């Protein structure tokens, strides 16, 4: 049996556009001779639809799109994700063939952790769906259903399937896909059934979906793998005799008694004409740096394009964060859609402006220089009476950052381009940022990327490019906000090689300060950092969204109260 996984980039709420993407993929799959074509989870509506699901008209539109698609499926079988509405709302997979909806499966495991809120919206399904497609037994599941060994996966094994068809919208974080692929191989092996897994690709607000759809045989061996971060039509031939033969040779399932619940639902279909074709592809996987870079590029591109912005504006300070953000933006959008703006103050060194100019030249982007000293002086003059008798401090420093934010937003309003904020996760964690200043922007690509990873990605990108795109001077210079004379980040924070491991343990793993001290971290640094993280929650709530790259990103993943007296303990 030839199976196709349509790894497509959907847009939430764009039912007409998603329908056309699915139609195009189905036409290409059928032209290649695929009997079964899978689409991602909720492919017709896009994932996640969030509170759109609370509108009855949304579910009705999803059903209308499904019926329109079904009428087009006159050859083979298509399994498509949609929003079903009976007495409640369901995350569903429809089986389309012979011009109509032949069967519907309702997702049984509804994730409600991390970025997921499915129990808020959906009623869970209660039973399996097994199909008889040209004599092959095919079980249908949706994403979370396949992650647990029981009961759904165990029931798939009991059903003596030839193929498990899993549609999915599994969001990216670094290194997740490796574990997911191992899990899927285990499910196929344990069930003695081939497994086709079709995952969504693309960016949706903070989330990025990596794709990496796979087709695995009944022994758990990889047959085909789609690339990461790109749309693809993954096609492979599955030898149906291997599943039944393996169950005879390795009778691990013999003690599992089949149930009447697994009676196969026959699917009426017109056969797809046989077609030749090249062998299945097994896409190679990028390095960890390449994986993270690809996620960030896709996240920026889809956020900008799907929200209709013509381009982006970036404040170029000469520092590494703005340099990396600009390099990502150029890779995502092209140099003609990226504008860099340097805004030197009296504390900005000549090297900073020179490095920003060198970066802009290397990237081929427009570069403007707007000195802010006169504007800052005007603010200080207006505030002189209010500040009289008080020494200069963070108030004057933040004025500079806020003037820069105002300049960038004025350019954005005038030209329509979106401002990209350049702050990283290390800074956001401890509040080393200025509300309405460097936090200004519509999207923050590095929001979930630590400073350590910023340096790692900058050096990696230069190696990939084979030239010095990001000036080496920018990489080598001690990080500084340049808001006062001779300022360094280390004046306010531990060195990043100390700070970032503490942040990872405290934020990603929820380890209390005492446990971090026991692991060898300096007590004073741990207590200081934990306090800074807790006090900065109000700032993070007001920052722009950014690409989720870790298992515990701020916002959707880590949800802490702003008003909170529990403290770090």
Q: Which of 5, 118, 143, 451 is catalytic?
A: 143
CA 509 to chain centre: 20
In a domain, 512, yes or no: no
- 203 and 244 together in one domain: yes
219 and 187 in contact (C-beta within 8 Å)? no
The 3-class SS string of 249-269 reads HCCCCCCCCCCHHHCCEECCC
What does the alpha-carbon distance between residue 141 and residue 196 come to, in Å, rounded to a whole number?
10
Residue 414 confidence (pLDDT): 96
Residue 154 confidence (pLDDT): 86
In a domain, 483, yes or no: yes
332-346 burial, b at 16+ Cβ within 10 Å, e below that, comes to bbeeebbbbbbbbbe
In a domain, 64, yes or no: yes
Q: For tokens 């695929």, what's the residue?
A: 34
Q: Which of 5, 75, 107, 548 is catalytic?
A: 107
- 232 and 346 together in one domain: no
380 has catalytic annotation: no
- 262 and 313 together in one domain: no
What does the alpha-carbon distance between residue 557 and residue 116 come to, in Å, rounded to a whole number?
9
In a domain, 447, yes or no: yes
Name the strands in the sheet holding 130-133, side by side, starting at the edge strand that comes first in the sequence: 222-225, 214-216, 194-199, 163-168, 136-142, 130-133, 265-266
In a domain, 275, yes or no: no
Number of domains in the chain: 2
Going by C-alpha positions, the residue among 468, 458, 130, 418 that lies closest to residue 292 is 458
In a domain, 536, yes or no: no
CATH number of the CATH domain containing 296: 3.40.50.620
107 has catalytic annotation: yes
Rounded to 5°, the CA angle 350-490-392 comes to: 70
Q: Which helix (H) or strand (E) holds 222?
A: strand 222-225
CATH number of the CATH domain containing 32: 3.60.110.10
pLDDT tens per residue, range 373-426:
999 999 999 999 999 999 988 898 889 999 999 999 999 999 999 999 999 999
Task: Tell me which residue range forms the domain holding 49.
Answer: 2-266
Residue 273 confidence (pLDDT): 77
- 239 and 301 together in one domain: no
- The pTM (predicted TM-score) of the whole model is 0.93
Which residue stretches of the chain have pLDDT < 50?
none
Residue 566 confidence (pLDDT): 82
Taking the chain, what is the end-to-end CA distance rounded to the nearest angstrom?
A: 57
143 has catalytic annotation: yes
Determine the 3-state secondary structure of 38 from DSSP. Answer: strand
Residue 458 confidence (pLDDT): 96
What does the alpha-carbon distance between residue 274 and residue 538 come to, in Å, rounded to a whole number?
60
234 and 213 in contact (C-beta within 8 Å)? yes
Q: Which of 41, 118, 158, 482 is catalytic?
A: 41
Residue 464 confidence (pLDDT): 93
124 and 107 in contact (C-beta within 8 Å)? yes
- 209 and 352 together in one domain: no
């Amino acid at each position: 049996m030839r199976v196709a996984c349509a790894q497509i980039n959907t847009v939430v709420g764009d039912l007409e556009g998603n329908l056309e993407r699915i139609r195009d993929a189905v036409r290409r799959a059928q032209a290649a001779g695929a009997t079964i074509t899978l689409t991602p989870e909720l492919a017709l509506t896009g994932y996640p639809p969030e509170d759109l699901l609370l509108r009855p008209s949304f579910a009705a539109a999803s059903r209308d799109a499904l019926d329109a698609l079904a009428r087009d499926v006159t050859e083979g079988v298509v399994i498509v994700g949609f929003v079903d509405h009976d007495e409640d709302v369901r995350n569903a997979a429809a089986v389309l063939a012979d011009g109509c909806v032949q069967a519907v499966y309702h997702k049984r495991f509804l994730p409600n952790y991390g970025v997921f809120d499915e129990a808020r919206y959906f009623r869970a399904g209660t039973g399996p769906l097994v199909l008889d497609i040209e004599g092959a037994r095919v079980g249908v599941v949706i994403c979370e259903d396949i992650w647990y060994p029981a009961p759904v996966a165990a029931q798939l094994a009991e059903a003596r399937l030839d193929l498990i068809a899993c549609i999915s919208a599994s969001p990216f974080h670094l290194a997740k896909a490796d574990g997911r692929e191992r899990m899927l191989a285990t499910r196929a092996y344990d069930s003695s059934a081939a497994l086709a897994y079709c995952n969504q690709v693309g960016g949706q607000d903070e989330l990025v979906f990596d794709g990496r759809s796979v087709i695995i045989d009944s022994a758990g061996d990889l047959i085909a793998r789609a690339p990461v971060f790109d749309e693809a039509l993954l096609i492979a031939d599955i030898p149906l005799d291997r599943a039944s033969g393996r169950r005879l040779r390795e009778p691990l399932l013999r003690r599992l008694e089949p149930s009447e619940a697994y009676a196969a639902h026959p699917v009426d279909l017109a056969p797809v004409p046989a077609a030749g074709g090249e062998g299945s592809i097994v896409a190679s996987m990028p390095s960890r740096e390449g994986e993270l870079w690809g996620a960030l590029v896709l996240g920026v591109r889809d956020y900008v394009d799907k929200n209709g912005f013509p381009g982006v504006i970036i404040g170029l300070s000469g520092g590494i964060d703005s340099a990396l953000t600009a390099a990502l933006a150029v890779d995502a959008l092209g140099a003609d859609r990226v504008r860099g703006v340097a805004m030197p103050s009296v504390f900005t060194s000549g090297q900073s402006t020179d490095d920003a100019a060198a970066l802009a030249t290397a990237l081929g982007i427009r570069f403007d220089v707007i000195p802010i000293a006169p504007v800052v002086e005007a603010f200080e003059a207006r505030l002189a009476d209010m500040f009289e008798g008080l020494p200069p401090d963070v108030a004057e420093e933040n004025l500079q950052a806020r003037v820069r934010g105002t300049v960038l937003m004025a350019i954005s309003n005038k030209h329509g381009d979106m401002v990209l904020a350049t702050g990283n996760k290390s800074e956001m964690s401890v509040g080393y940022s200025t509300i309405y200043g460097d936090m200004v922007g519509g999207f923050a690509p590095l929001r979930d990327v630590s400073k350590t990873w910023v340096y790692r990605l900058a050096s990696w990108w230069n190696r990939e490019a084979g030239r010095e795109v990001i000036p080496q001077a920018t990489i080598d210079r001690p990080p500084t906000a340049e808001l006062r004379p001779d300022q360094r980040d280390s004046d306010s924070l531990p060195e990043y090689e100390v700070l970032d491991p503490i942040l990872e343990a405290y934020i990603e793993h929820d380890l209390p300060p005492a446990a971090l001290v026991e692991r060898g971290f300096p007590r004073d640094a741990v207590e200081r950092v934990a306090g800074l993280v807790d006090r900065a929650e109000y700032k993070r709530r007001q920052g722009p969204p950014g690409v989720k790259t870790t298992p515990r990103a701020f916002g959707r993943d880590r949800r802490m109260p702003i008003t909170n007296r529990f403290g770090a303990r």
